[in-house]
């Protein structure tokens, strides 16, 4: 089975590794001339069930390559705890820097005989007979000619926010609790990467621009017990929501951020992609085991199995974003009190924990 993957990014690598493990020939085509290992301050959180899936079906991630989180605290502008999530002493999710996971995956693929990587421009690829040369084409990019030609119709929302990310170094602590502050300026998350390193993600409302000095002052105001010694460079990106209306055309599938892009406040973007991959891989495995070809029917089955789940899950994240965004209109204390009451209900809290871990189970 020959599969073409377009785009050289974290999604395309995790997808390639899963497919190669099942005997598929995978060719990645990269249209970008940028270096493949650009420095990134981005961090991803992976739920416990998705870690299990990755370890079993893709690549085993060693304990030292991940940092486990056992508590999540949601706090107000005034640093008052609104709700805390924990499940006895179990891990809620694990954190890893994007660059580290990228290098682990690429290192395991680059010498595999079933895997190849080609860098070329879009015009050359367009002229090739790519649709007939491969059983499946999986597009993992948002803005190339395939996305524009076949998948331009999307549900969209402008968050009017800019995400600022950085890595901070601090004194050694028992760093197992992620903290999310819903400040008047936007959500600010502290995501532990080790006992001495924490990732910062700040989503500034109204596309508000901060210089490095003001960002540092803002973060110091919420640092808690952290004795910050050093910041990495700050990186920024505009935040938008998009969800594809159409998942496939003929034998071409849209996947990853091109398929759905959500607000980072819930840390669920990559988890949605992994949950999609679970379903896609199951369909492909069944086809291969039955000696059947990989064709558009695979992609139809994938769309039917994932589309409604992705819609409801992404709208749930949008609801959380909007709920805290409108707190000034309804009164901060009123909003905080509502969340506190919800947080006292163990069944509801466990439901949130399960949804963050496994996604939304629907019909």
For 347-358, how does the pLDDT look when each residue is reduced to its tens digit (9 = 90+)?
766 777 777 778
Let me know if residue 169 belongs to a domain. Answer: no
Give CA–CA dist 49/56, Å, rounded.
11
Q: Give the Cβ contact number of residue 261 at 10 Å.
A: 21
**Taking every pair of C-alpha atoms in the chain, what is the biggest distance, in angstroms?**
61
Identify whether the C-beta of residue 179 lies closer than 8 Å to the C-beta of residue 73. Answer: yes
Helix (H, G, I), strand (E, B) or coil at 190: strand
Q: According to the model, what pLDDT value does residue 330 have?
A: 56
Find out whether 249 and 150 touch, Cβ atoms under 8 Å: yes
Half-sphere exposure of 100 (CA within 13 A, CB side): 15
Q: Is residue 218 part of a domain?
A: no
Read off the DSSP letter of residue 69.
Answer: E
C-alpha distances (whole Å) from 237 to each of 99, 144, 201 are: 17, 19, 11
- The pLDDT score that the predictor gives to residue 337 is 67
Q: For position 103, what pLDDT does the model report? A: 94
pLDDT in tens, 313-326: 999 899 888 887 77
Tell me whether residue 190 is exposed, middle or buried, using C-beta atoms within 10 angstroms of its C-beta: 0 to 12, 13 to 18, 19 or more.
buried
Tokens, residue 117: 């990587």
Tally of domains in the chain:
1
Q: Could you tell me if residue 352 is inside a domain? A: yes
d(CA 336, CA 339) in angstroms, rounded, equals 5
pLDDT (0 to 100) of residue 302: 96
Asked if residue 275 is part of any domain, the answer here is yes
For 50-89, the pLDDT digits (tens) are: 999 999 999 999 989 999 999 999 999 999 998 899 888 8
Q: What is the pLDDT of residue 335?
A: 61
| Residue 176 within any structural domain of the chain | no
Q: Is residue 20 part of a domain?
A: yes
On whether residue 229 sits in a domain, the answer given is no
Q: Which domain holds residue 290?
A: 2-52+98-155+242-358
Strand-pair partners of 237: 163
User: Residue 81's beta-bridge partner residues?
Assistant: 75
Structure tokens at 154: 């999307």
Q: In the chain, which residues have pLDDT < 70? A: 33-39, 327-345, 348-349, 360-363
Q: What is the CATH number of the domain that holds 107?
A: 3.50.50.60
Instruction: Report if residue 209 sits inside a domain.
Output: no
Query: Residue 363's pLDDT is what?
Result: 39
Indicate the SS3 state at residue 74.
Answer: strand
């Amino acid at each position: 089975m020959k599969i073409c993957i377009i785009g050289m990014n974290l999604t395309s690598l995790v997808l390639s590794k899963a497919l190669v493990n099942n005997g598929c020939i995978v060719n990645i085509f990269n249209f970008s001339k940028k270096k493949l290992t650009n420095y990134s301050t981005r961090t991803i959180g992976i739920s416990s069930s998705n870690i299990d899936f990755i370890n079993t079906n893709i690549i085993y991630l060693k304990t030292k390559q991940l940092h486990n989180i056992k508590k999540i605290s949601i706090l107000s502008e005034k640093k008052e705890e609104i709700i805390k999530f924990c499940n006895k002493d179990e891990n809620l999710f694990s954190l890893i820097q994007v660059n580290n996971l990228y290098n682990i995956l690429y290192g395991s693929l680059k010498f595999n005989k079933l895997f190849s990587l080609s860098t070329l421009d879009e015009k050359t690829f367009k002229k090739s007979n790519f649709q007939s040369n491969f059983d499946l084409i999986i597009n993992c990019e948002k803005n190339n000619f395939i996305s524009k030609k076949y998948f331009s119709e999307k549900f969209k929302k402008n968050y009017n926010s800019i995400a600022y990310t950085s890595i901070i170094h601090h004194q050694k602590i028992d760093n197992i609790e992620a903290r999310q502050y819903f400040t008047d300026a936007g959500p600010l998350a502290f995501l532990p990467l080790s006992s001495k390193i924490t990732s910062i993600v700040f989503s500034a409302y109204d596309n508000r621009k901060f210089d490095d000095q003001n960002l540092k002052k803002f973060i110091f105001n919420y640092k808690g017990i952290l004795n910050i010694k050093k910041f990495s460079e700050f990186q920024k990106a505009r935040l938008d929501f998009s969800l594809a209306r159409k998942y496939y055309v003929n034998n071409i599938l849209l996947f990853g951020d091109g398929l759905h892009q959500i607000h980072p406040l819930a840390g669920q973007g990559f988890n949605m992609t992994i949950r999609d991959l679970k379903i896609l891989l199951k369909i492909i495995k069944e086809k291969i085991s039955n000696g059947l070809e990989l064709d558009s029917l695979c992609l139809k089955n994938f769309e039917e199995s994932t589309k409604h789940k992705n819609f409801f899950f992404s709208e749930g994240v949008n609801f959380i974003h909007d709920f805290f965004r409108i707190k000034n209109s309804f009164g901060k204390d009123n909003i905080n009190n509502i969340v506190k009451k919800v947080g006292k209900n163990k069944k509801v809290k466990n439901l949130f924990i399960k949804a963050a871990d496994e996604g939304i189970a629907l019909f």
